[in-house]
């Protein structure tokens, strides 16, 4: 894959996608379950502060979104399939909000890494809009990817390491269940 983003290092046979869909603990858990996904990194993108911390972005003043960088094998799962899962496992009709998480850091946004991703995402959003899939307007933003800042170590693989943490045990299992019901063929065994 050709990426316009110099801070995303890919190995031969790898591709990448960057999505923001609310709390990165949730989106990370969803995408880690998919066949062909090699790695998911939680982080921050789309803001003005250099090297932001979790504390910084929680103020909502840095402009960053909580996002995930997905490293995947395009021979096993395509960018289009990742888009399908992304839109099916978060609410793309709310501005700066996912459930009880409110603020610009929880916005729905696709940070495209090249022109092909931009066009594919635009076409998919147009299809969802045409089919009125959600019964409301899709408000997911699209932006060229800027610097992706990896979140602190304790945020990485958070759900797997903290399944009984209150937020995790309440919010993430319904998303995983939805994933299992809607995309059983895409799940790792």
Active site residues: 23
Evaluate whether 70 touches 16 at the Cβ level (below 8 Å). yes
What is the CA angle 157-16-150, rounded to 5?
45
1 exposure class (CB count in 10 Å sphere: 0-12, 13-18, 19+): middle
- SS3 for 70? strand
> How many Å apart are CA 51 and CA 161, to the nearest integer?
25
> How many Å apart are CA 101 and CA 54, to the nearest integer?
15
- Residue labelled with tokens 């602190």: 152
Q: How many Cα atoms sit within 13 Å of 129 on the Cβ side?
A: 10
139 exposure class (CB count in 10 Å sphere: 0-12, 13-18, 19+): middle
Tokens of 58: 């929680």
């Amino acid at each position: 894959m050709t990426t316009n983003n110099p801070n995303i290092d890919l190995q031969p046979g790898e591709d990448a996608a960057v999505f923001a869909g609310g709390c990165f603990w949730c989106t990370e858990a969803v995408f880690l379950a998919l066949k062909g996904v090699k790695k998911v990194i939680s982080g921050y993108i789309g803001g003005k502060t250099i090297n932001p911390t979790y504390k910084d972005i929680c103020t909502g003043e840095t402009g960053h979104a909580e996002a995930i960088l997905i490293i995947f094998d395009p021979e096993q799962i395509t960018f289009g399939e990742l888009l399908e899962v992304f839109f099916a496992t978060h609410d793309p009709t709310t501005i700066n909000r996912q459930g009880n998480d409110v603020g610009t850091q929880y916005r729905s946004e696709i940070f495209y890494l090249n022109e092909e991703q931009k066009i594919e995402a635009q076409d998919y959003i147009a299809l969802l809009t045409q089919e009125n899939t959600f019964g409301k307007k899709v408000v997911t933003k699209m932006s060229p990817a800027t610097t992706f800042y990896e979140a602190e170590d304790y945020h990485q693989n958070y759900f797997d390491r903290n399944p009984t943490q209150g937020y995790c045990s309440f919010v993430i299992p319904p998303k995983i269940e939805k994933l299992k019901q809607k995309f059983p063929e895409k799940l790792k065994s």
